[in-house]
Amino acid sequence: MNRFLLPLGLFVLLAAVLAIGIRHSPEKGVIASPLIGKPAPQFALPSLTDPARVVRSEELHGHWYLFNVWGTWCVECRAEHDMLLQVGRAGVLPLIGLDWKDDDAQALAWLAQLGNPYQAVAVDRSGRAAIDWGVYGAPETFLVNPQGIVVYKHIGALTRETWIHEILPRVAATAATKS
């Protein structure tokens, strides 16, 4: 029995140290994006709401924008939709949607029923554009600066707290330095 006490004691000690470290980690639950500080991926994708139009990333250069990846199959996307409507109404920056691996008819019905917060919605049927953006799962939202650099990534449903404490300060800091 004594030969088991030392390994058991070491295991308990190691588990306690790891648990304390995880609990006090300031970045717990954060998955860093390799895109932060790098140019946003280029894309030219069909528009969901205007079949004759192509949504192109170069149209967005020179402006801040939020790039929101969503799908009608995504439960959290429905949870964040009211917040996206508030962001769209605020008019602070354009909100561009990427409808990821979805059915066009269902996506159009979703926007008709819940409201359309987006200035443009690109369709990514194959999922290739989402891969370029490093998307793990919907919803994910990226903040891109006027130079086309990704400055922030939010995984999960966008919240009022994230909007107020993470996104707006980044946009406001750049506006303040221009004045």
For residue 35, what pLDDT is reported? 86
Domains of the chain (ranges, CATH numbers): 34-178 (3.40.30.10)
pTM of the model: 0.81
Question: How is residue 84 written in tokens?
Answer: 């996206």
Instruction: Identify whether the C-beta of residue 103 lies closer than 8 Å to the C-beta of residue 71.
Output: no
For residue 40, what pLDDT is reported? 97
Q: How many angstroms separate the CA atoms of 48 and 108, rounded?
A: 7
For residue 33, what pLDDT is reported? 75
For residue 29, what pLDDT is reported? 46
For residue 22, what pLDDT is reported? 59
pLDDT string in tens for the chain (179-residue length): 667 777 777 676 776 666 676 566 555 444 567 889 999 999 999 999 998 999 999 999 999 999 999 999 999 999 999 999 999 999 999 999 999 999 999 999 999 999 999 999 999 999 999 999 999 899 999 999 999 999 999 999 999 999 999 999 999 886 555 55
Question: How is residue 62 written in tokens?
Answer: 């020179």
- Which residues 6+ apart lie within 8 Å of 107 measured at CB? 48, 71, 72, 99, 121, 123
For residue 19, what pLDDT is reported? 62
- Which residues 6+ apart lie within 8 Å of 127 measured at CB? 100, 101
Q: How many angstroms separate the CA atoms of 45 and 47, rounded?
A: 6
For residue 7, what pLDDT is reported? 73
Residue among 137, 151, 136, 149 at smallest CA distance from 57: 149
Question: How is residue 92 written in tokens?
Answer: 């602070």
